[in-house]
Amino acid sequence: MAATKTAAKKAAPKKLGTSADDRYFADQSPEKRALLEKLRALVIKAVPDADVSIKWGVPFYQRNGKNVCALASFKDHVGINFFASPSALPDPQKKLEGSGKSNRMLKVRSAADIDSASITRWLKAAAA
């Protein structure tokens, strides 16, 4: 019986809020942790079936094997990277940064930088 439970645990994907991202968040300063947790709550709400794993040292959130976003802490901000074509991420206020073909980053320095409606829209576009 114990072998069956162990095998089932290994096969189960890591869901949002599991130890992978919890450990990363726990290593951050209280201010950055609070911002990361607010962003993670938006990810959970917008893409509830996303899986989480650590890639390149930061939490990545995927849906059906496709990267949706990543959360990371930097010296002066935290960031959320959206993995989608810039054309799928409408940004009339020019809040997103980057020039690549497949992702953009929102730098968050305070809770005031978290525009829930825009972030939710970008998450859904990246998950589509």
Give the list of residues 6+ apart from residue 127 with CB closer than 8 angstroms, or none: 46, 47, 50, 63, 66, 68
pLDDT tens-digit readout, 94-117: 999 998 889 999 999 999 999 999
3-state SS string over the chain? CHHHHHHHHHHCCCECCCHHHHHHHHCCCHHHHHHHHHHHHHHHHHCCCCEEEEECCEEEEEECCEEEEEEEECCCCEEEEECCCHHHCCCCCCCEECCCCCCEEEEECCHHHCCHHHHHHHHHHHHC
Q: pTM value? A: 0.81
pLDDT tens-digit readout, 3-21: 444 444 433 444 554 567 8
pLDDT tens-digit readout, 64-95: 989 999 999 999 999 999 999 999 999 989 99
